[in-house]
Amino acid sequence: DGGITQSPKYLFRKEGQNVTLSCEQNLNHDAMYWYRQDPGQGLRLIYYSQIVNDFQKGDIAEGYSVSREKKESFPLTVTSAQKNPTAFYLCASSPGQMTYEQYFGPGTRLTVT
């Protein structure tokens, strides 16, 4: 069964701690993306990677970091520098650079207190 998995579904952290969100895909897609969703804000792009070992900042990259060491994995670290980390985080992938449609994972709800 091909798809995108994100774990865990719910994550709780104390303020000041870094936390890493997992995203794995077995669709053999080249491109992967991280979005953040806040109530009434839609989906905002944090980082994206169009090829292994390369990634680009999105619209709201401050306070986040990523790595893309393997084609199937694109973990996102929410650092203590992110001022408002509590949100719903979505990972997506697409077949390649010149494709429009994205496939989304189920998301991770991060709560920082």
Partner 1 sequence: DQQVKQNSPSLSVQEGRISILNCDYTNSMFDYFLWYKKYPAEGPTFLISISSIKDKNEDGRFTVFLNKSAKHLSLHIVPSQPGDSAVYFCAASASGGSYIPTFGRGTSLIVHP
- In the complex, which residues of this chain contact partner 1 (CB under 8 A)? 4, 6, 9, 33, 35, 40-45, 48, 58, 88, 90, 92, 94, 97-107, 109
Residue type, 50: Q
Q: Give the nearest distance from C-beta 101 to partner 1 in angstroms.
A: 5
Comparing CB distances to partner 1, the nearer of 16 and 42 is: 42
Q: Give the nearest distance from C-beta 4 to partner 1 in angstroms.
A: 8
Comparing CB distances to partner 1, the nearer of 9 and 83 is: 9
Comparing CB distances to partner 1, the nearer of 19 and 90 is: 90
In angstroms, the CA 53 to CA 68 distance is 5
Q: Give the nearest distance from C-beta 100 to partner 1 in angstroms.
A: 5
Ramachandran angles phi, psi of 75, nearest 5°: -75, 145
Place of tokens 């905002």: 44
In angstroms, the CA 13 to CA 3 distance is 27
Residue type, 84: N
Q: Give the nearest distance from C-beta 87 to partner 1 in angstroms.
A: 13
Exposed (0-12), middle (13-18) or buried (19+): which is 69, by Cβ within 10 Å?
A: exposed
